[in-house]
Structure formats: structure tokens, C-alpha cells
């Protein structure tokens, strides 16, 4: 073969290899989406939304952040004997009541949310915001830590966050704050994998679930439904908004969902919550309870159903990983919804 022929032979071989790898990843991407859709069929959550960035037409996007923020505020409500919802359609906080005060999980966007939604909601529910002892922040994004300063001012509560996320927000401290967003809290209690927080008769385990951020924590605790105990996990960080330039975070996410499935089965976790209602459908479930108080509590789904939902999240993460393989490195930052 002449040099010229070698050149064309080499070029065609290369094109063939590139095309087949492309087809393979596209095929695997569809397989993961198919698997996620199949699993999500009888899912009582909205985590299938995590597959949206892949762009499969079968997955329909829910309302945007703006639409969700502007919707009329849902009422503060009681989900379990010792667990209360305060929030809007975009993001929310959970309040766990204990024998020695309140533990708040996540603090919404800013001081105003903390005052008019979290504190006002607690008062409406007959709870005293001054008795908040801990605010556990799932991860270092402002829509979860934004209200911490206000809550700390009102109650003197300690702020708990993963060590890696404290470092993350500290590194960004010089950034100009966006309108309506409070400054991050000052470093307080930093937790590492395996840590838990105890208050009175209640222990909250902090399951380490890096991915959405590298220091995300997912609190696990006991709730009581008319006196009967159940185990709940709040998935701390959901979307893949870190973008395709950080595939290692997607790998961490996939690893976290798998460890969570083992944990949920082993520990009998039968409730999965979120800090965004689009994922846990908490507002729909609470309005169902309010309409039919005698119905079985719709938050209680059983360990298998919770594992199934975590599997949907895992498949969506894998489908996204396949998509990023196709687009990387030309697409350094995937444009995705910011949760």
C-alpha cells in the first residue's frame, strides 16, 4: 500500500471506531433510560426528572424554578407525629421535634424565607422557633443554607454541614452575593462520614452521599406514624448540575446511590424524602393527607420501593454519564437545571 493509501485506511478505521463507540454509548444511554422509565412506572417520587438532561422525549420536564417559586404557598403541615413540612413549591425545610427541642433539616433560600416560611410555619403549627437547637444543612448550596443566619439569630441553633462543603462555601466567600440570597453561615459543626447528631430522645444519622456536591449528607432518622416507628432518609442533593467537566462527581453520585440501596435494605429505611418537592412530591402527599386524614400515610412506601427509587436515580446518573462520554470534552459544562 502507498503512503496515501495507508493514510486513508487509517482514517477510515479511526472513523469506524469513533462511530461504533458513539453508537455503543448512545445504545447504553437508551438502555439506562429504558431501565429508569420502567422502574419509575410505579414510583411515588419524581426522581425520574434526573434523566431530563439526557434529552429523551419520553421524560417530560416539570414546572421551572420560577414557576414553582411563584405558585401559591402550600400550608405548613404535619407529615408524621414528629415531622413537619415548611416550604414552598421550589424548596423546603423539615422540622423534627424531639424531647429537647427542634432539629431543622435545610434552611431554604434566604432570611426572608427563614422568617416568613420556616419560623412563621412553625408558629402556625404550634411550635416555637426559639427552641430550634440544630439546623442540619444537606449541602453547601444557597437554596439550602440561605436561611441559617436568621434561624441562628432567633434560636442560637448550631449549624451542621459536611466538612467538605464548609470548605467549598468558604472558598467562595469572596463572591458577590446574588440578590435575595443570604451570605453563607460561619463555620460551625463540621461532620464527616459516620457522624450523627443527637438531641434529647432523637438521633439523626448523617449518611454520606457525595455527588451533587462532594460533601452532601443525607439525614436518616426515626419518624412515628400514630405511634408506630418508621425510618426516613432525606436525599441531600439530587441534580447533576455540576456539569460534564466534573465526571468524577457523577461517579461519586452513582457510588452513593449504590451504598444507599445497601443501607436502606439493611436498616429498613421505608421513607424517602427530599428538600425539593418536585422529587419527593411532599406537597401532593400532604394535601392528600389533609383531604383524607384516615388514609394510610402516603410517605410510607417500604424499603423495596425506596431502593427502587434510588435505582431510578442510579440509572439516570449512568445515562447522563454515557451522554457526557459522547459530548466530552467539547462540552465542558452541560447546561442543566440548577437544583
Ranges of beta strands (E only) in 32-152 are 77-80, 83-87, 92-98, 101-105, 132-136
Binding string to Zn ion for residues 107 to 146, with x set by CB under 5 A, is what?
----------------------------------x-----
Q: How far is the CB of 233 from Zn ion (least distance, A)?
A: 17
Q: How far is the CB of 19 from Zn ion (least distance, A)?
A: 37
Which residues on adjacent β-strands are paired with residue 160? 136, 189
Specify the residue, 129 or 211, whose C-beta has the smaller distance to Zn ion: 211
Contacting Zn ion within 140-199 (CB under 5 A): 141
> Looking up cell 421505608, which residue turns up?
270
Q: How far is the CB of 280 from Zn ion (least distance, A)?
A: 15
Q: Residue 154, exposed/middle/buried by CB under 10 A (0-12, 13-18, 19+)? A: middle
> Looking up cell 411515588, which residue turns up?
44
Q: How far is the CB of 296 from Zn ion (least distance, A)?
A: 32
Residue showing the smallest CB distance to Zn ion in the complex: 141
Q: How far is the CB of 276 from Zn ion (least distance, A)?
A: 9
φ/ψ (deg, to 5) at 200: 55, -125
Specify the residue, 121 or 140, whose C-beta has the smaller distance to Zn ion: 140
Distance CA 8, CA 23 (A): 22
**How long a stretch of residues is the chain?**
339
Specify the residue, 51 or 102, whose C-beta has the smaller distance to Zn ion: 51
Specify the residue, 141 or 285, whose C-beta has the smaller distance to Zn ion: 141
Distance CA 225, CA 296 (A): 9
Helix (H) or strand (E) holding 236: none
How many residues of this chain interact with Zn ion, rule: CB under 5 A? 1
281 is a site residue for Zn ion (CB under 5 A): no
Residues near Zn ion, by CB under 5 A: 141
Amino acid at each position: 500500500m502507498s503512503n496515501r493509501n495507508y493514510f486513508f485506511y487509517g482514517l477510515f478505521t479511526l472513523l469506524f471506531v469513533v462511530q461504533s463507540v458513539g453508537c455503543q454509548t448512545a445504545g447504553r444511554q437508551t438502555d439506562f433510560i429504558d431501565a429508569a422509565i420502567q422502574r419509575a412506572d410505579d414510583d411515588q417520587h419524581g426522581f425520574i426528572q434526573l434523566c431530563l438532561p439526557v434529552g429523551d422525549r419520553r421524560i417530560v420536564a416539570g414546572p421551572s424554578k420560577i414557576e414553582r417559586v411563584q405558585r401559591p404557598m402550600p400550608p405548613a403541615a404535619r407529615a408524621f407525629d414528629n415531622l413537619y413540612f415548611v416550604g414552598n413549591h421550589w424548596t423546603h425545610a423539615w422540622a423534627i421535634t424531639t424531647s429537647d427541642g427542634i432539629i431543622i433539616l435545610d434552611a431554604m433560600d434566604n432570611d426572608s424565607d427563614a422568617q416568613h416560611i420556616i419560623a412563621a410555619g412553625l408558629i402556625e403549627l404550634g411550635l416555637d422557633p426559639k427552641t430550634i437547637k440544630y439546623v442540619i444543612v444537606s449541602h453547601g448550596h444557597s437554596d439550602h443554607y440561605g436561611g441559617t443566619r436568621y434561624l441562628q439569630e432567633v434560636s442560637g441553633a448550631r449549624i451542621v454541614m459536611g466538612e467538605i462543603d464548609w470548605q467549598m462555601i468558604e472558598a467562595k466567600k469572596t463572591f458577590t452575593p446574588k440578590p435575595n440570597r443570604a451570605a453563607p453561615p460561619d463555620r460551625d459543626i463540621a461532620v464527616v462520614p459516620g457522624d450523627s447528631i443527637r438531641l434529647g430522645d432523637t438521633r439523626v444519622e448523617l449518611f454520606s452521599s457525595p455527588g451533587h456536591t462532594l460533601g452532601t449528607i443525607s439525614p436518616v432518622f426515626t419518624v412515628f406514624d400514630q405511634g408506630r416507628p418508621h425510618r426516613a432518609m432525606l436525599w441531600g442533593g439530587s441534580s447533576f448540575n455540576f456539569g460534564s467537566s466534573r465526571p468524577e462527581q457523577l461517579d461519586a453520585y452513582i457510588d452513593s446511590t449504590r451504598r444507599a440501596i445497601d443501607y436502606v435494605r439493611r436498616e429498613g429505611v421505608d421513607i424517602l424524602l427530599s428538600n425539593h418537592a418536585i422529587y419527593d412530591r411532599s406537597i401532593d402527599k400532604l394535601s392528600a393527607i389533609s383531604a383524607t386524614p384516615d388514609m394510610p400515610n402516603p410517605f410510607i412506601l417500604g424499603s423495596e420501593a425506596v431502593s427502587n427509587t434510588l435505582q431510578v436515580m442510579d440509572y439516570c446518573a449512568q445515562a447522563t454519564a454515557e451522554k457526557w462520554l459522547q459530548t466530552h470534552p467539547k462540552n465542558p459544562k452541560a447546561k442543566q437545571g440548577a437544583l
